[in-house]
Amino acid sequence: MADWPVDVHSHLIPGVDDGAKSPEDALAILRSLRDLGMKKWITTPHIFYEYYRNDPQTLKNGFQILQEYLSAQQEQFDISFAAEYYLDEHLFKTVDERSALTFGENFLLFETTMLSEPLDLDEFIFKAGLNGYRLVLAHPERYAYLIGNFKRLEELRDKGVYLQVNMLSFLGHYSPATKKMVRDMVELKLIDFIGSDCHHVHHAQLFSELNSDRYFRKALSSNLLNYTL
């Protein structure tokens, strides 16, 4: 997997969400991903007010602990952090305050509930745009309300929302429907970013199977915005 683009979605800050549990876990994941050819990471822990009440300071503290551990192990990785925000009232407030963690040119990664489209999704997109954010919707291929709904995906992109799919979706890790969806998105050129969404070493070990997936290779050869970071 040579020349792998920047990974814009993972959970590698130890102990802050459902990702890496310790600095040792994070290092094991990073080593596995590096062995596949990855060279740069923007890790994105959850900020989900009901479950993971992280904020920029708690993530900064956790990231510093990780950096100190990597340094002590004499390991060097090109890694920075942003966040994966859950669309809720807290995110509306964060956007209004212009205090969201972003990557690149003010890209803000967010997710929604899996089953039904949030009633305030369009309102949020409009408000985020007014505040200068460039929204990136995490793993749209996994949302029940978007599977097969390519018209809605096109509408979201027309509103300025970028689409980020997960590497594991190409392997059918989440469901056969998700695998078909991501393949269709490749063919329709609806993918802007790819991310690992890696939570643990088991995920990292699965990625080697992607080398033989022609849809994944086709996605990597498209004009992914990962390459601009």
CATH code for the domain in which residue 185 is found = 3.20.20.140
pLDDT at 2: 46
Domain count, the chain: 1
- Full domain range(s) for residue 65: 23-222
**Bridge partner list, 111:** 86
pLDDT score, position 166: 97
Residue 63 phi, psi (nearest 5): -65, -35
The pTM of the full predicted model, rounded to 2 decimals, is 0.96
Q: Which tens digit of pLDDT belongs to each residue from 198-212?
A: 999 888 888 888 888
Whether residue 229 lies inside any domain: the answer is no
76 within domain boundaries: yes
Does residue 10 form part of some domain?
Answer: no
In this predicted structure, the answer to whether residue 159 has a pLDDT above a threshold of 70 is yes
Query: DSSP characters for 39-102?
Result: -EEEE--EEBTTTB---HHHHHHHHHHHHHHHHHTT---EEEE--EEE-SHHHHHHHHHT----
pLDDT score of 141: 98
- Does residue 7 fall inside a structural domain? no
Q: What residues contact 19, with CB distance under 8 A and at least 6 apart? A: 10, 11, 12, 13, 45, 198, 199, 200
Residue 133 maps to a domain:
yes
- Rounded mean pLDDT of 100-120? 97
In a domain, 115, yes or no: yes
Look-up of token digits 């929604």? 112
Q: Is residue 122 part of a domain?
A: yes
228 in any annotated domain:
no
